[in-house]
C-alpha cells in the first residue's frame, strides 16, 4: 500500500521501514478468523518474547517453511530428529524452548480441539468484546502491556498446555489479529479497521 511521507501511522511503526510499514498497513489489527493463521500468529508472538517484532517479521517465511505452514496435524508427528533439524535452521531463531513450544502448542490444539482449527479460532475469539473494542491511544505510553481479557486468555491457554502464552504475548496477539482496534487515534488505518471490526460477529 503506497502512502505519502505525510501518512500518519501508529507510534510503534518505524517510519521508512518498508517491512514494518507493509505489515502495519495491510495486516495489523485486521480481524482474522482463519484458525491456521491464528495458530501461526500465536506462535510467532511467542517467538518474539525477549526480541523485537522486526526480528520475527523478517524471518516469517523461514518460520513457515521450517514449521510446515504451522499445520498442527503435521507438527504433532514431529520427532526428536525433526526438532533438532529445526534447531539447526538459520531461517528461524534457534531457541530450543521456543521450537519445542510450537510442537507443544500443536499437541494442545489436538488434545483440546481435536485438531479442529475452527474450534480453536472460536475459542480465542471468545475473549474479544462485541462490538470490537476501539481504543483511543496516541503515544506508546498509552498502550497497555496486558489487559483483563489477555490475562484470562493466558490462563486458559496455559491450562491447556500452551507455552509462551503469557498475558503480554496474548495481548500482542489480540492486537495483531484484530480482537481489539489499537491503531492510534491519528493513524490512517484506524477508521478502515474500525469498519472491518463492526462487521465481526462473535
Cell of 97: 524452548
How big is the chain by its Cα radius of gyration, in Å? 17
Q: Which of 27, 53, 110, 156 is catalytic?
A: 53
- What is the largest distance, in Å, between two alpha-carbon atoms of the chain? 51
Give the C-alpha separation, 164 to 154, whole Å. 9
Give the C-alpha separation, 77 to 75, whole Å. 5
45 an active-site residue?
A: yes
28 an active-site residue?
A: no
Which of 29, 36, 28, 3 is closest to 18 using CA atoms?
A: 3
125 an active-site residue?
A: no
Q: Which of 21, 45, 63, 125 is catalytic?
A: 45
What does residue 180 show for φ and ψ, rounded to 5 degrees?
-135, 155
Q: Which of 12, 23, 110, 143 is catalytic?
A: 23
Q: Are 38 and 167 in contact (CB under 8 A)?
A: no
Active-site residue set: 23, 45, 53
Amino acid at each position: 500500500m503506497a502512502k505519502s511521507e505525510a501518512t500518519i501511522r501508529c507510534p510503534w511503526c518505524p517510519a521508512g521501514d518498508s517491512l514494518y510499514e507493509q505489515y502495519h498497513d495491510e495486516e495489523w489489527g485486521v480481524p482474522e478468523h482463519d484458525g491456521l493463521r491464528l495458530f501461526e500468529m500465536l506462535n510467532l508472538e511467542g517467538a518474539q518474547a525477549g526480541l523485537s517484532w522486526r526480528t520475527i517479521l523478517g524471518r516469517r517465511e523461514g518460520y513457515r517453511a521450517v514449521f510446515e505452514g504451522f499445520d498442527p496435524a503435521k507438527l504433532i508427528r514431529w520427532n526428536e530428529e525433526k526438532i533438532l533439524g529445526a534447531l539447526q535452521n538459520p531461517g528461524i531463531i534457534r531457541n530450543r524452548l521456543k521450537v519445542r513450544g510450537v510442537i507443544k502448542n500443536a499437541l494442545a490444539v489436538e488434545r483440546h480441539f481435536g485438531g479442529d482449527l475452527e474450534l480453536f479460532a472460536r475459542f480465542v475469539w471468545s475473549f474479544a468484546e462485541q462490538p470490537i473494542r476501539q481504543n483511543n491511544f496516541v503515544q506508546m505510553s498509552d498502550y497497555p502491556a496486558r489487559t483483563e481479557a489477555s490475562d484470562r486468555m493466558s490462563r486458559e491457554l496455559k491450562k491447556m498446555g500452551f507455552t509462551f502464552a503469557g498475558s503480554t504475548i496474548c495481548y500482542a496477539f489480540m492486537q495483531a489479529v484484530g480482537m481489539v482496534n489499537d491503531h492510534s487515534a491519528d493513524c490512517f488505518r484506524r477508521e478502515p479497521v474500525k469498519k472491518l471490526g463492526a462487521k465481526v460477529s462473535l
